[in-house]
Structure formats: structure tokens, C-alpha cells
A and B are shown apart, each in its own frame.
Chain A
């Protein structure tokens, strides 16, 4: 959703001003041209609108309706229970724990992946031997499907598995942590795998952003005697701002909706240590046949994501998106 909103932004702004000149004129021909333009806009927008309505708006609305019922997914929707499902979710320590995990991943992603990605991107932006190869390698994890990557880690991480053997051969002779089976360790294992998976994407994004920083500025700075560090700190980073803000936005939304990797790697376990709102939703809505309750969780997840997305766009992305979605 956030991606489509942003993509739609510039398109709307480009289409927006176009009809204005015709507004001043009143000739029939112009009017017909104008209505022809509107027709064209509708013709282009209609398929997307139909798809968006059918597969996004209607399901969201249906989930909202289901969430007020005690419904097992079969039979008639006839046991209205008001907001009981919501009350239950917000009182369930497991759901609150799942929500906590989501926010922990949001925070950790921003605090760890961001600086790491910027640092690596700055390094890769210099003239290095084999730079293209390194860039490709860094991007590989992101290209792998979540399921393939998740299964690979599941095969590597059991007690005495390849990872443990590798650590032993590197000189760690003692007991290894139970990477996926120890509830106090599994969350960090998960976060490490997510970081491995998504860091490449962040780096590529940052590198693309760096391409937009004019070299003249760095040249001018170095003529004025700025060191490499000063150039990065006072010129490159500020100009990379829009990219960083967009990356952070994608990262936050992705972290809130995190599902696939967790589902494959731990299934939310052990003892719910890696549960996220999305895995909780699937476990209860689907696994335990409580579709009404699962829908309530889905609505909570949707509202949390939507509020954060809107607030972020309103206050953080405001300048970056000016004219696109902040103004009509």
C-alpha cells in the first residue's frame, strides 16, 4: 500500500495541473477535449481501480465486518459480539508480545540496518577494485525468495548443524546457543537473518541515492580543504536525506508486516518468542479456525500500519513528497 501511494503521487501531480488551462476557456471544442482527457484518465485508471477495489478495499472492509463476529469461517455470520475480539486481542499477552516484537524489529532495523547500510554504501561509492562484484554479492540475499532463505537458515541452524560446526572450526569449542530453540536467543537469530536478507536492499537504495549527489559539491569541498569525513558528514549525508527517509519508511512498514521469514524460520516459536502480529493472525485466524478473531487482529495490524504510514508521510516525508500527496 505505501509503495502504491507513493508511486501514484507523482502521477497525480503531473495529471493535476494539465486541465487547468482549459478551465479558463469556454469553447465547446475545448470542453470536448477536456472531457476526452478525463475519459482518457478514467480509461487508464479504471483497471487499476477495479483491481484495487476488488482485492484491497473490499477484503479490508470484509475483514472489518468479520472482526465483529464470533465466526469459525464456516456457516452463517450470525454471532455478533461487538468489540469483544478487539478486547481479547489487546488483553492477550501473546498478541501484545507479538506487537512488541514488531516494534522491537522496527527500532532495531532503523538503529542497526540503517547506519550499516549507509556506511557500506559510502565505502562502495569510492573507487574500489571489484566494486561491481561486491555490489552484486551484497544484493544476492535480497534476490533470494524468503522461503528459500528461511529454509536454508533452518537447515544451517539446528544444534550441531553447519553453523555450529563452522563456529567450532573457528575455535569456539564450548556449547553453542540453541539458535532457534532457545526463546531468549531465537529473536536475535531472527533479527540477524532479517538483517542479512534486507541489508542488500538498503545498500542498493543508498547507492542509488548517492548517484544523485552532485560530484561538484564534493570537489568544491575538497578544494576548500574538507576531509573525506567532513565531506560525507556535511554534504553527502544531508543530500542523502530523502533516500534515507524513504528507506526508513519502507523498513518500518516491512517490519510491522513481517511474516514470511518468521513463518519459515520459527513459525513464531519457540514459546511465541518470535511471534509477530502477522504470524499471530494466521495462527489464530487460520490454524485455530477463529476467522472473526483473526480478522480483528488483521484490522489492528492494518490500522497500526496505516496510522504510522500517514504520520510518517505527514511529518517526515513532508518535504520529499511536497506537491505529490501533501497538496491537492
Chain B
């Protein structure tokens, strides 16, 4: 999904139990070795799981690792996502100490950290995990070496309200773009807002363009663009034209330019969760986000994602040049800093072990990546996302992550302008080129 070439995520489904089991043993073996020096070792671990169930889950994992490795202390802290990604981690890395295991979004950002010498090359310590995980590791690799491992990976698709679809008389979920247009018209006729989009945050709107680019561009073109930032292929313009037409069908909620993606009932996720809109194009984390919003709005700590939720893949487009079974997705991983003790890799191996990954799937926080852990996925919708992931021949990483914050940010801004009626398919590509020129 990145410059490491196309790969088959179907490999996830296939095997690797022995490897997983080996990995699960790893902490116990190496842990004693790590504390062999006789000194106490403290690992500082930062992640973005500020809400339950993830917050408690990582605390449990840290404790288990401490129990299995006498002499190792794990200080695990959760920070708000943007704060962690944009401020805390870069600042801490620059000091050259103090942080061992940290959230890693991969690709463009990882490359910058590696080039600055802040990330540990863990290729040798995790080679078995890498083989087992297959292509899903690609965003955490750079120049042939592995600098982190994912624990969660999913693809983007339409989350929809089955009740509202029924109310509008839509019987089957849309499989082609034309079906989607029909569904939008049917929903409008039933006086239902078809789609909520958090264009105020940029990326949720940009995901539409990513999907159209994926349908228009051959995988090779997308991969090449990630390497040399050339966007000359006409397929990038075509993506903008398809999007322009889609925006022209006016499927979105009122005031979408100022709508946020995940904050409160007025956000796009909130609108879907409360039945104010029928669909939202979003990643696999969406049920968790909606559950969190419902908890806040209702004051009920045990509120769950809405029952009426369904999921379908982004529809196919007749005659498009891209790979019809390609999917758009991304995940979360962890990296060890260059100065972290060997125990950091052990902890990472433990986190991605089948045992921990299975439990990760059970709590419904995401889609585990380690082969053998799928059984843990209890949520029906997440099972559908996983099925979509497994049936994809090519998974493209979120384009903004793949291109890094500079080009990615300019791209998202150009796309949002098109949503706001001020840009054009050309201006999106131009802004990407201009941003690439400042790298």
C-alpha cells in the first residue's frame, strides 16, 4: 500500500499461528534477558487510546508485560490524538530520550522520523511477525527495513442506518455508483439527509477524492506518486471530476463545511449515530466513535454503537481504470525509539501476539492484524469490514498519510475547496504539486 508494492491482504487470513505463538512467547524469553543487567528498566509508552475500552486495555497489557518480565516497569500514558501526533511525539523525539514505545501512523511521517534517526530498526527482532502479517506492515517499513508494527488495520466504507434505508424504500445496499445516486435520491425524497460529512476537519471530505482516485488510477500509478510526488496521470483529474459530479448531487448535510467528524451530536458521526443522516463514509473506527458520542450525549456509560448500523464497501464505478477490488484504508501501529532498550521490541511483540490481538478484537476497538486473531472480532460490522479487507487485491493507505503532512495537507485543503464550490479538479492537483515543490 505504499512504495513497498502491492500486496495481498488476504494473506492475513492465511495462517501464521505458529509465528503468532512464537511471538507470544517472546516477551517471557527476552524479558529475563533484558533485566539480566540487574537494573530496573522503565519503558515509556505513549498511545492515543484516551477512551475506553482501549485505555484500560493498554493498561492491562502493560501490567501483564510487567508481570511476565520482572524488573521492567511500563509507564503507559494516553494522549489526545492530534496533540500526540503533531506536538508531543515530535518534540519528545527531538530531545533524544524519554520515550520508548509510541504510536506510529506510518508512511510519510515514519519516513521523516527515520531519516532524522529517531526510530529503531527492528527488522531482525520482528522478522517472523513481518512475514506473518504480510502486506499490512508496509506503512511501517521504510527502505526495506521495518520500523514498527501495526495492531489495528481496516478499510473505509459507508456506514449507514438500516432503518432509514428501509424508510426510504432502499432494499439493497448500493454496489455501483449509480446505485448510490439512486439511494441518495430515494433518501432525499423521503426527506432524509443522505450523507453526513465532517468537511470541517478536512480529511473526512478528502476521503471521497481518495476513493475516486483509487477507482480511476491503476495501483502502479498510485504507488509511483507516493515515491516521486508526480501527479501528471490524467486519472488524478478524473478523480476530481467524479467528485465534482458527486458533490453536484447535493447529498451532504447542511453546513458540512463547518461540520467536525467526531465531536458531539452535531458532528458527522454524531448525525449518523442519532439518526439525523443516513450514511457516512468513514474508517473502521466509526462504531467506537459513535458509541463514545452516544455515551456523552446520553450520560449512559454503557451506551453502545447504534443497533441500526450497517456497512457497505465504496461502490464500483463502471468503466473506471483502477483496480475494482482495491480498498482504501489504514491502521495504527507502534514504533520503538532509536534509544529504547531491547525490552521495547519485546513489548511490541507481545502487543502484536495472537493472544493480545484476539482480545483487542474482542473489545471491539478495531480490527486486529495478526493472523489467527480474527476470531476475536465480535462486532458484525467489523467482521464485514474485515471481509472487505480480505477480498481486496490492493489496499491503498490513506493518501494524506501516504504523502505525508505537507503534500497531504495541501491535498485535503484543495479537496475541501472543491466541496465548498471554490476549487476545481485541476486546482487539487496543482496544490499537491505546489506543496511537493516545497518539500
Q: Which of B254, B257, B405 contacts A289 (CB 8 A)?
A: B405
B residues less than 8 Å from A288 (CB atoms): 405-406, 409-410, 435
Does B188 touch A at the CB level, under 8 Å? Answer: no
Q: Which of A177-206 contact B (CB under 8 A)?
A: 178, 180-183, 186
Does B266 touch A at the CB level, under 8 Å? Answer: yes
Q: Which of A2-28 contact B (CB under 8 A)?
A: none
Interface of A is mostly: loop
B residues less than 8 Å from A161 (CB atoms): 266
Residues A271 and B254 in contact, CB atoms below 8 Å apart: no
Please report the total number of A residues contacting B with Cβ < 8 Å.
Answer: 30
Interface with A: B114-122, B342-350, B375-383, which one? Answer: B114-122
Residues B258 and A181 in contact, CB atoms below 8 Å apart: yes
Does B264 touch A at the CB level, under 8 Å? Answer: yes
Does B256 touch A at the CB level, under 8 Å? Answer: yes
- Cβ of A35 to closest chain B Cβ, rounded Å: 42
A residues less than 8 Å from B200 (CB atoms): 181, 266-267, 269-270
Q: Which of A73, A267, A271 contacts B420 (CB 8 A)?
A: A271
Does A75 touch B at the CB level, under 8 Å? Answer: yes
- Cβ of B158 to closest chain A Cβ, rounded Å: 22
- Cβ of B195 to closest chain A Cβ, rounded Å: 15
Does A209 touch B at the CB level, under 8 Å? Answer: no
Q: Which of B86, B93, B258, B404 contacts A180 (CB 8 A)?
A: B258
Residues A289 and B406 in contact, CB atoms below 8 Å apart: yes
Residues A271 and B404 in contact, CB atoms below 8 Å apart: no
Q: Which of A58-89 contact B (CB under 8 A)?
A: 70, 72-76, 88
In the complex the two chains form, what is the Cα distance from A161 to B115 in whole Å? 48
Does A114 touch B at the CB level, under 8 Å? Answer: no
Residues B258 and A271 in contact, CB atoms below 8 Å apart: no
In the complex the two chains form, what is the Cα distance from A289 to B110 in whole Å? 12
Does B53 touch A at the CB level, under 8 Å? Answer: no
In the complex the two chains form, what is the Cα distance from A106 to B113 in whole Å? 40
In the complex the two chains form, what is the Cα distance from A88 to B118 in whole Å? 29
B residues less than 8 Å from A181 (CB atoms): 200, 254-259
Q: Which of A194-238 contact B (CB under 8 A)?
A: none
B residues less than 8 Å from A267 (CB atoms): 200
Does A286 touch B at the CB level, under 8 Å? Answer: yes
B residues less than 8 Å from A186 (CB atoms): 258
**A181-B254, A270-B420, A289-B406 given; 17 more Cβ-contact pairs under 8 Å:** A74-B116, A74-B118, A75-B112, A158-B258, A159-B254, A159-B255, A178-B258, A181-B255, A181-B256, A266-B200, A266-B258, A267-B200, A270-B199, A283-B409, A287-B405, A288-B410, A289-B404
State the A residues within 8 Å of B (CB): 70, 72-76, 88, 155, 158-161, 178, 180-183, 186, 266-267, 269-271, 283, 286-290, 293
Q: Supply 23 A–B pairs (Cβ within 8 Å), ascending by A.
A: A70-B438, A73-B90, A74-B93, A74-B112, A74-B115, A74-B118, A75-B115, A75-B116, A75-B117, A155-B266, A158-B258, A159-B253, A159-B255, A180-B255, A267-B200, A269-B416, A270-B200, A271-B416, A288-B405, A288-B410, A289-B405, A289-B406, A290-B438
